Structure 1
Amino acid sequence: MTFVQVIDCKTSRFDEMNRLMDTWVEQTKGKRTATHSVIGKDRSDASHVIEIVEFPSYEEAMRNSTLPETDRIFREMVALCDEMPTFTDLDVVRDEQLYAATVRRFFEVIATKGELPPLNAVMAEHYHDHNPADEQDALGMDHVRRELDEWRAAFDFEFSIEDLIAQGDRVCARWFWKGTHKGDFLGIPATGKQVSMTGTTIFRCGGDGKLAEGWWEYDRMGLMTQLGAFEELER
């Protein structure tokens, strides 16, 4: 679970503190586990400064705090403060930007060439998939992986994300898919045809930022037409 630490302090020596933060980043390069940092100054009190530091997890934050550079910089920072700074530790329970990034990463992962990479970085173990083309919902990461393997065996494909809208724990992706038909797909032997389709998927994300549920809508009829599935019926 993403972890955030909020550091609240008062200082009349902000420029010196800012340089100190630059020194910390430089000295911990390659070792620092923070993924993002924002420093804000109170508009009504220029001596009031807040830093928000994001980590992948609480454990990573604790690993960062044990760095010898962190301990030294902390002592120097306290010396620059007018009073002892306060620290607030937060587990992130909602992050729309993180959710959108996870969805974008998911589409990249499933279109990766070669062997399908592990999905556990982007998908919850008990993920629930709703696909109108399937008689039953896909329950669990392993089931989803089997379905993806079928698509990947039938097509070399890629996605382009046309729109990505995040609200609350939901992310809506409007996407364009194109591929080359290289293997059997629903009884249709490989044709070598270049095919494409459009679709929209709404994902629900869990507190850990991973995909927990998904609802798919896509132009399956258009895809089957491009593959020649209805040519015999039209004669």
Structure 2
Amino acid sequence: MTFVQVIDCKTSKVDELNRLMDDWVRATEGKRTATHSIVGRDRADSTHVVEIVEFPSYEEAVKNSKLPETDRIFQEMVAVCDQAPTFTDLEVLRDEQLNKIVVRAFFEEVANKRNFDAQSALCTADYREHSSSMPDDMGLEESMAANRELHTALEPVVTIESLMEEGDLVSARFSFKGRHVGTFWGHEPTGREFSGTGQAIFRCQGGRIAESWWNLDDLGMLRQLGAGPT
């Protein structure tokens, strides 16, 4: 289970504390077991600094604390603090990556359930979509119309292979299978089955998707439909 350590510091030497953190990152390269670190400063008290460090487990956190580099930097950190830092050890009970939830819902509702109207609830009003297969960017209404045309003509079923979240961005790697049952990009239905892979990046804002960038193997799909160059 994921383990999180919260370190509370009181210091007037925030720049020095930041330098020590940079030194620790460099010194423990290839050795540390910490996977994520966030440092924040209290808006109400500029001397109150909190670091949140994430580990795969408590056991991995113990390994990290036993590194000589970790001990050295900690001793230097104590020296720049106004008082001894305090530690809170947390076993993570829930880890909700909220931007992933809205992206997963987009694939499930719009792509697989053909609930095209759901896109208006999942995306912001000023949503912008960029695609390697489209010369111009699309707004929300244009994207909804394009999705309706594509999914009606090709009936794809999408499988999410992986989702990775960083900040307000979510990267999705996916595969899809379908059948050409309607007119698509001027090509009459062939009844042929097709499959392919794709990748998309979503920028989220306020719990909704504000922007997306899509890359799909359109040429490979058209070849399978007998509509592209061989």
Normalised to the residue count of structure 2, the TM-score between the two structures is: 0.56
Residues 223 and 44 (structure 1 numbering): CA distance in 2 closer, same or farther, change over 3 Å?
Answer: closer
Match in the other structure for 1:220 = 218
**1:74-223 mapped onto 2 (5 Å cutoff):** 97-113=97-113, 116-139=116-139, 141-206=140-205, 208-223=206-221
Offset of residue 118 of structure 1: 2.6
- Give the distance between the partners of 1:137 and 1:44, measured in 2 at CA: 49
Cα-Cα RMSD: 2.5
Alignment gaps of 5+ in structure 2: 1-85, 89-94
Offset of residue 113 of structure 1: 4.2
Residues 187 and 97 (structure 1 numbering): CA distance in 2 closer, same or farther, change over 3 Å?
Answer: same
**TM-superposition CA deviations, 1:10-40 (whole Å, max 9, x none):** xxxxxxxxxxxxxxxxxxxxxxxxxxxxxxx
- Equivalent residue pairs, number: 141
- What is the DSSP-based 3-state SS (H/G/I as helix, E as strand, rest coil) of the residue aligned with 2:226? coil
**TM-superposition CA deviations, 1:99-129 (whole Å, max 9, x none):** 0011011001112445533323211111010
Whether the 8 Å contact between 1:203 and 1:215 is mirrored in structure 2 is yes
Whether the 8 Å contact between 1:159 and 1:176 is mirrored in structure 2 is yes
- 1:228 corresponds to which letter in structure 2? G
- What is the DSSP-based 3-state SS (H/G/I as helix, E as strand, rest coil) of the residue aligned with 2:157? strand
Whether the 8 Å contact between 1:96 and 1:166 is mirrored in structure 2 is no
Whether the 8 Å contact between 1:96 and 1:167 is mirrored in structure 2 is no
Residues 113 and 163 (structure 1 numbering): CA distance in 2 closer, same or farther, change over 3 Å?
Answer: closer
Offset of residue 195 of structure 1: 0.6
- Give the distance between the partners of 1:164 and 1:128, measured in 2 at CA: 20
- Give the distance between the partners of 1:216 and 1:113, measured in 2 at CA: 20
- 1:198 corresponds to which letter in structure 2? T
**TM-superposition CA deviations, 1:127-184 (whole Å, max 9, x none):** 0100111111002x21110110110221111110111000000000000011111101
Whether the 8 Å contact between 2:109 and 2:115 is mirrored in structure 1 is no
- Give the distance between the partners of 2:113 and 2:96, measured in 1 at CA: 28
